[in-house]
Structure 1
Amino acid sequence: MIDSQISHYLDVLKNRNFAKLWVSQITSQLTNYILSFAILIKVFELTNSTISVSLIIMAFGVATLFFGSLAGVYADRFDRRWLLTIINFGQALSIALYFLVGDDFWGLVLITFLYSSLNQFYIPAEAPSIPRLVKENQILIANSFFAFTNSAALIIGFAAAGPMSSAFGHAAPYTVGVGLLVVAGLATMSLPSLKPPVVHENPYSFSKIWHEFKEGIAHFWENSRLHYPLVSLIAIQIINGMMITIAPAFMKEAIGINLDTGSIFIVAPLGIGILIGAALLGFEERFLSKRQLVRMGFLGMGTMLVGLSLIGLVDFKYVYYSFFGLLIGYFNAHIFAPSHSMLQTHAHEHLRGRIYGALYVMLQVAATLPTIIIGVLADVLPIASMAAILGGLLLLYGLLDPVYQRR
């Protein structure tokens, strides 16, 4: 049984075109995490305020609101191979702006906004390309690979950002990021054509773009099988965004770890947990439905966050954090890959880009106020109590799922 399951994973990896997309995902995500952590830590050091960290995260959000509705439509209009390639090289140029603005706070906000603006076009072009490159029965495994390497990039990126800056200067993460994105661009450039199945006339007409964006929203609204994965992805992204907002303060105040050199000790348990969870998904799918896997993720992650909030009661804080962090990561993996797999399976092929574009617009609309609130609360309340609040929200979502399912 185990040998058979391993062969299924290897079959996906033998697909050279999927491997190229995977290389782009690895390098672009590694860049994302290296830069995100470097910028967040630098902003926290400059201002010593979680609210300022919230502003950086909001810069990502503003880009989503400006371009999210357009991005999904364009992902369904143009060859996704060239969209991914142009975006990878464009993001490399946006990161290179650091060498002009330096460590200026508003300069970092500008880089974040430009990088995120381009990322809005990358996301709805990348994820919907997976079903074009693998067989339908391989979609969950393919998404598991993406979740797996996303976690590896999380570990390496967050762990390397602080020491890299300390050893080679604050410009080092940006130099590495430019190089990685060039590799990503070269990988996607060699993909086969990923043209949409429906050819559109006058692709630059704003009225047509807006009409097609609304068409994607209507498809989501009318297709009940898309509701649960979309809402689940929005919910977990909001919680993850709030966790990132409080992460620097939690490291410093709750665990007592140096922000520059200790990042690996924070990220490693979370990332290893996600790696384990993603690796086991293909096996667990034999016994549980995708929806059950997602619900298991919400309930398990919520319980672990509530447990983590009690860290102030123990002396061996890092050991305590490592245990709960590992399980938080494990359950987190059970939300993303199954939700994306359901979304890609049930959405119409010619609407997938719009569905993903709409997903991230709805995500940002929903996440804006909570991100601000958590930043304000983290500056006035004990930081560990924030984990209890986030855990309670996840538990509530998981417990309400059976009620919604019976409707």
Structure 2
Amino acid sequence: MTSRSAFAIPAFRRLWTAGLISDTGDWLLFIALPLVVFQLTGSALGTSIAFLLELIPAVALAPLAARLVGRFDRRWIMVAVNVGQALALLPLLWVDELGDLPLAYAVIFVHASLSTLFEPAKNTLLPELVDTGRLVSANALIGLNQNLGRLVGGPLGGVLLAVGDLGLIVAVDALTYVVSAVLIATLPAVAAPAETHSPEEGAAPRPAGLLTAFRLPRLRGAFAVIFVSSVAQGMFLVLFVLFALGPLRGSDADVGLLRGIQAIGAVVAGVVLGFLVRGSSPRALTALSLFAFGALSLVTWNLPALTTDIWPYVVLFAAVGAPGVIMIAGLMSVLQEHSAPWQRGAVFAAVGLVSALGQAAGILLGALSDGPIGLLPLLELQGCLYLLSGVIALLWLPRARRGRKMGGQPATATHAC
């Protein structure tokens, strides 16, 4: 019996492995570099600037990403990005004191800019490697390796920084990007979207620009879900620490424990959805996961009225990682299934843009907790935004197209060897 897991496809396994390695490298940098910035500046503001620099390219470079991913071979875009990320780390070797801070900021900005190209290229390539029936499995497994990379790369980044110096981080991180580039280069060749034939028009259309993605009626619900849920995520980034140290009366160690424990639920969900569950509707998965996200959030924010013991929150935060992976798997599958190959570069560049704008709005909303509104009403709003996203998903996301083949390839081209 043929496996319906995307992991049965050799090309996908190579892409997955490359993603796991590069995601581990991303988390090395994500953990270590803000710590270095804080050590240099001694300022929360300096560290906040580092995080904001990661959002700017997703907005500013989205139109360029749409054009490049739509015009060129996605494999080689990803290879070039990985090589560029390895080279972009080198200026960190000269970061030793406060005067070198602009170099650290420049590395953060360049890495975020390259990621703006990498993610649309990866999400555009994925439907060319797997058939429609395995899209949910493939996207869940991508979410799995991102969380495995977090589990490995996060602690490893802290350990390497403690036992060595920033140079050691640079060496290990650069190696992960080079290995990832080599694996991606071995993927089978796939026609660029600009070369894809359109049966409806009888001609190969030009790659779509960014605005084209927002004009696709079937995807407007998905963009609405992404924006509203990203606002909730942005609020969480600001409010979580305030909640843990305030109503929960936790310590700095509790903050780290609760943030890290989310990966457990995410890994379990990635394994179950990637290897075991079959025939799931992306629309239903997205809606149900968002309802679960909202319900778990509201229970968590209101639980201090009953108890501030840490262990119920460990369970809740471990559980909340699962709907995050399921939501992303469902949404990405909807976007991949309901866009043509020459449109996907624009679609996934638009995803990065909408997500960044939503998170920025959420961060600004979270800052209102210092004012008369207070913390608890904003926490309640954050949970309700996830519930609203679930309603939008249930009512507005398109239903699955049964029997459709992806990327114009015959189904046998994606079967395991």
The TM-score bracket by the shorter chain reads 0.7 to 0.9
Matched, 1:243 2:236: yes
Alignment of 1:129-168 (within 5 A): 129-168=125-164
**Shift in Å, 1:318:** 3.2
Q: Matched residue of 1:193: which SS?
A: coil
1:103-252 aligned at under 5 Å gives the runs 104=98, 105-199=101-195, 214=209, 216-224=210-218, 226-245=219-238
- 2:251 corresponds to: 256
RMSD between superposed Cα atoms in Å? 3.2
1:6-405 maps to which residues of 2 (within 5 A)? 7-9=3-5, 12-43=6-37, 46-47=41-42, 49=44, 52-102=46-96, 104=98, 105-199=101-195, 214=209, 216-224=210-218, 226-245=219-238, 254=248, 255-258=250-253, 263=256, 265-281=257-273, 283=276, 286=279, 289-310=281-302, 312-313=304-305, 317-375=309-367, 377=369, 387-402=379-394
Q: State the Cα distance separating 1:91 from its structure 2 match.
A: 0.6
C-alpha distance in 2, partners of 1:134/1:307? 38
Question: Which stretch shows the higher mean deviation, 172-181 or 238-247?
Answer: 238-247
Q: Which amino acid in the other structure matches residue 70 of structure 2?
A: D
Farther-moved stretch of structure 1 (272-281 vs 311-320) = 311-320
Q: SS at the partner of 2:194? A: coil
Which whole-Å CA distance do the structure 2 matches of 1:358 and 1:61 have between them? 14
Could you tell which deviates more after superposition, 28-37 or 235-244? 235-244
- Secondary structure at 1:191 match in 2: coil
Q: Determine which structure has the larger helix proportion and give its number.
A: 1
Give the deviation of 1:148 after TM superposition.
1.2
Is 2:73–2:192's contact at 8 Å kept on the other side of the alignment? Answer: yes
1:135-162 per-position Cα deviation (integer Å, ceiling 9, x unaligned): 2222211111101111211222223333
The alpha-carbon distance between structure 1 residues 284 and 20, as it changes in their structure 2 partners (threshold 3 A), is closer
* Distance change (3 Å), C-alpha of 1:246 and 1:55: farther
Q: What is the Cα deviation at residue 231 of structure 1?
A: 2.9
Deviation at 1:376, TM superposition (A): 6.1
* Alignment CA distance shift 1:38-1:305 (3 Å): farther
Q: For the residues of structure 2 that align with 1:379 and 1:33, how far apart are their CA atoms?
A: 33
Counterpart position of 1:206: none
The offset of 1:274, in angstroms, is 0.9
Q: Deviation of residue 79 (structure 1)?
A: 1.3
Cα 1:383/1:100, change in 2 over 3 Å: farther
Q: TM-score, normalised by structure 2?
A: 0.80
- How far apart, CA to CA, are the structure 1 residues paired with 2:366 and 2:42? 17
1:169-222 superposed Cα distances (whole Å, 9 cap, x missing partner): 34443332111111111111222223314249xxxxxxxxxx9554x5335423
Residues of 2 paired with 1:337 and 1:122: CA distance? 18
Query: Could you tell me how far apart the structure 2 residues matched to 1:252 and 1:167 are?
Result: 29
Paired residues of 1:53 and 1:245 also in contact (CA < 8 A): no
Deviation at 1:348, TM superposition (A): 0.2
CA distance in 1, matches of 2:278, 2:368: 40
1:207 equivalent in structure 2: none
Give the distance between the partners of 1:175 and 1:294, measured in 2 at CA.
39
Q: What percent of counterpart residues are identical?
A: 18
Do the aligned residues in 1 keep the contact of 2:57 with 2:112 (CA within 8 Å)?
Answer: yes
State the distance in 2 between where 1:194 and 1:378 align. Answer: 52
Instruction: Note the C-alpha offset of 1:312.
Output: 4.5
One-letter amino acid of the counterpart of residue 285, structure 2:
L
Bigger drift between 266-275 and 126-135 goes to 266-275
Change (3 A) 1:71 1:241: same
Partner Cα distance (1:85, 1:220) in 2? 28
Aligned length: 383
How far the C-alpha of 1:73 sits from its partner, in A, is 1.2
C-alpha displacement of 1:385? 7.0
Amino acid in structure 1 at the alignment position of 2:189:
S
Question: After the TM superposition, which of the residue ranges 164-173 and 330-339 deviates more from structure 2?
Answer: 164-173
The answer to whether the 8 A contact 2:284-2:394 is kept is: no
Give unpaired runs (5+ residues) of structure 2. Answer: 197-205, 399-417
After TM superposition, the score normalised by the length of structure 1 is 0.82
Does the 8 Å contact 2:140/2:273 carry over to 1? yes
Q: Distance in 1 between matches of 2:90 and 2:227?
A: 31
Partner in structure 2 of residue 204 of structure 1: none
Whole-Å separation in 1 of the counterparts to 2:291 and 2:207:
36
Q: Say whether the 8 Å CA contact 1:128–1:353 is kept in structure 2.
A: yes
